[in-house]
Amino acid sequence: MNEPGFSFSSAQGKYTGTSIVRLEGPLTLSTLFAFQDEFRAMKPPVLILDLTACPYMDSAGLGLIMNKYVSAENGRRKFFLTGINTRIEALIELTKVNRVLRTFPTAEAAEDAAWIAEGVLRRL
């Protein structure tokens, strides 16, 4: 499950149907193989990828994220990124995927935005 310098964990969000995946370490070609099968199998209504502890990613890491985004869109699920640093933000902007990926400063902000959009919080 873990490569040297890379690990991930998954937790339930505050609302049922939300999963938060936290990465620690760089998401690169050499580290993503331990992560990708489990990540691709995750299909909750709302999936938040927290990159707060991910110092950088390469094009392979971004490719994995984009594949997950497309899968979520096709399945009418929500997928958000949180905690991106300036280095990852530069990669996202350079590749122009900032036009489709939704980012939030925190997992809590992303989760609230997802469920407000669904009208769930208005009913609580």
User: What CATH code is carried by the domain that includes residue 31?
Assistant: 3.30.750.24
Q: Is position 123 within any domain?
A: no
* Residue 23 covered by a domain: yes
Residue 18: alpha-carbon gap to chain centroid: 12
* pTM of the shown model: 0.90
For residue 69, tell me if it sits in a domain: yes
Residue 104 is predicted with a pLDDT of 97
The answer to whether residue 105 is domain-embedded is yes
For 28-53, the pLDDT digits (tens) are 999 998 899 999 999 999 999 999 99
Structure tokens at 20: 């938060």
Q: Which domain holds residue 110?
A: 7-118
**Number of structural domains the chain divides into:** 1
Is 124 a member of any domain? Answer: no
Query: What element of type H or E holds 75?
Result: none
In whole angstroms, give the CA distance from residue 46 to residue 54: 20
Is 45 a member of any domain?
A: yes
Could you tell me if 39 and 57 are in contact, meaning their C-beta atoms sit under 8 angstroms apart?
no
